[in-house]
Structure 1
Amino acid sequence: MRQRHASQDARRAREFKAFVAGAAGRLLHAATLLTAEAPDDNPRARRLLTLALAHTYACWDGLRGEDPYDRTRQYLASRFARGAWHQYGGLGGHRPHPASPLAALAPQERLVLVLRLYEGVAEEQTAALLGLATERVRTICDRATATLLHPPRGPAPAVGGAKVAAS
């Protein structure tokens, strides 16, 4: 009996290790995009990924044919949304790092954009995961995409040396 449990535990550990080897890089990149940290300085993203992977490992035997990547991504996204909401009173909080490609976006916009465009999650699935209407997800994604493609302009530069003639 003990040997059978040891064998099952070893198999579980091997399967999970193989999953992490294949998925951790992409999931860390998604977490870094969500937290809007610099790619080489991303402690919040690493913590988010660690929590998501720990959750997946805890549920590993109960997945029963479910895709572990999907499960981990769902937990990562919901943990980001819930953590930002509880910690900061809204999907906000820390200032995005200027090196982040999504620094100009609000946290909810980053979340929707990462799920829809980076991860390829369907609108309906994204809406269900976040508890939003499908139309709201579409609007948020469109607004975030427009912000990235056409960033707001800064103030117009002052024209030096121009004098207005007084009459």
Structure 2
Amino acid sequence: MGDRQLARDARRAREFEAFVAGAAGRLLHAAMLLTAEAPDANPRARRLLTLALAHTYARWDRLRGEDPYDCARQYLATRFARTTWHRYGAFGRARPDPRSPLAALTPRERLVLVLRFYEGVAEEQTAALLGLPTERVHALCDRATADVLHPARPAARRAANTGAAPS
């Protein structure tokens, strides 16, 4: 390997390390919001982060002006959506930590809420990223916001989930 290649690899490693130092904390927090895991017990969030960073590193030389944070965030979101769908069916049965403020939301609602409010991604971009109509993203975001701001009481939530009338 030539000196030029070694210098290029060293520069690439330094650039990526600087990116990770600046972005990993925020990306991990976004992943924890998506998985609704506790800060002290978040293996799914850490795995999402690791995969997103590995994907970004693999594309590092081909980013050419693209924002590496945007690349990592897109991978994090799509990977979360895909694994949640395939593993649990229809964005279903993953068990979030009940202490999480987003635990009562479905994974799809969490995904939309995190992208829209925590990450500041525009509604149209969120829709394109998730392959959903903009109106659907808007409805999911409105419902998720209402559920977070005005959570149902436990008895009412249980009755809604079972179809029974609250006592």
TM-score (normalised: structure 2)? 0.91
> Which of the pair has more CA radius of gyration?
1
Q: Could you give the per-residue CA deviations for residues 77-103 of structure 1, whole angstroms, max 9, x where no partner exists?
A: 000000111111221232110121210
Which residue of structure 2 lines up, in the alignment, with residue 61 of structure 1? 61
Residue 141 of structure 2: aligned partner: 141
Percent identity between the two aligned chains: 78
- Aligned letter for 1:47? R
Deviation (angstroms), 1:122:
0.1
The answer for the alignment partner of 2:153 in structure 1 is 153
Q: Which runs of 4+ in 1 moved over 4 A?
A: none
Q: How far apart, CA to CA, are the structure 2 residues paired with 1:40 and 1:118?
A: 20
What does residue 3 of structure 2 align with?
Answer: 3
Q: Provide the C-alpha distance between the structure 2 equivalents of 1:154 and 1:102, rounded to a whole number of angstroms.
A: 15
Contact 2:84–2:94 (Cα < 8 Å) also in 1: no
Give the C-alpha shift of residue 39 in structure 1.
1.2
Report the alpha carbon displacement of residue 154 of structure 1 after superposing the two structures with TM.
3.2
TM-score (norm 1): 0.91
- SS across alignment from 2:100: coil
Q: Which residue of 2 aligns with 1:119?
A: 119
In 2, Cα distance between equivalents of 1:3 and 1:99: 53
Q: CA RMSD in A?
A: 1.1
Contact 1:31 1:48 (8 Å CA) reproduced: yes
Whole-angstrom CA distance in 1 between matches of 2:18 and 2:25? 12
Counterparts of 2:74 and 2:19, CA distance in 1: 16
Give 1 or 2: higher helix fraction.
Answer: 2
